[in-house]
């Protein structure tokens, strides 16, 4: 089982599966497979991935008859926090300033987004005192 301080590394397919589970609460393999149908993956691929994810402590299941109903063990915030921390550490040598500057320079932030960022920075300053 993962500890909250551990880095959670997940691939694209695993993230898509987790997003489906977060949105639904829980779901059988068939529902997840149907939701990801644009990826043209085999049902067995989804079932195998869910078993692997369960082995890593990312999801768990309960049985309803012969059907496994999966749910996410990790919350979205845990995955977001871990991925953000990894992003800053790996690409920007741990510098939040460098990461934010890069994102501001390479994206087209709207005035509304920039105002929200200013508010977030002001809130962070208040918490840091």
**Over the stretch 70-123, which tens digit does the pLDDT of each residue have?**
999 999 999 999 889 989 999 999 999 999 999 999 999 999 999 999 999 999
> Percent of the chain, pLDDT > 90?
81
Instruction: Tell me, yes or no, whether 16 lies in a domain.
Output: yes
Instruction: Tell me, yes or no, whether 18 lies in a domain.
Output: yes
My answer on whether 60 and 20 are in the same domain is yes
- The residue range of the domain holding 46 is 12-72
Specify whether the CB–CB gap between 99 and 87 falls below 8 A: yes
My answer on whether 56 and 16 are in the same domain is yes
pTM for the complete prediction?
0.76
The pLDDT of residue 6: 60
My answer on whether 67 and 16 are in the same domain is yes
pLDDT tens profile 51-67: 999 999 999 999 999 99
Specify whether the CB–CB gap between 78 and 8 falls below 8 A: yes
My answer on whether 26 and 63 are in the same domain is yes
d(CA 91, CA 88): 6
My answer on whether 16 and 68 are in the same domain is yes
């Amino acid at each position: 089982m993962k500890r909250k301080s551990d880095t959670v590394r997940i691939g694209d397919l695993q993230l898509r599966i987790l997003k489906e589970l977060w949105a639904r609460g829980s779901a059988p393999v068939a529902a997840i497979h149907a939701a990801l149908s644009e990826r043209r993956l085999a049902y067995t691929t989804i079932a195998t991935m869910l078993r692997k994810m369960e082995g890593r402590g990312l999801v768990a299941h309960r049985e309803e008859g012969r059907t496994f109903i999966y749910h996410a063990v990790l919350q979205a915030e845990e995955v977001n926090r871990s991925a953000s921390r990894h992003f800053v550490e790996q690409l920007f040598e741990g510098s939040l300033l460098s990461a934010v500057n890069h994102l501001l320079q390479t994206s087209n932030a709207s005035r509304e987004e920039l105002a929200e960022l200013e508010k977030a920075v002001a809130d962070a300053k208040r918490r840091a005192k």
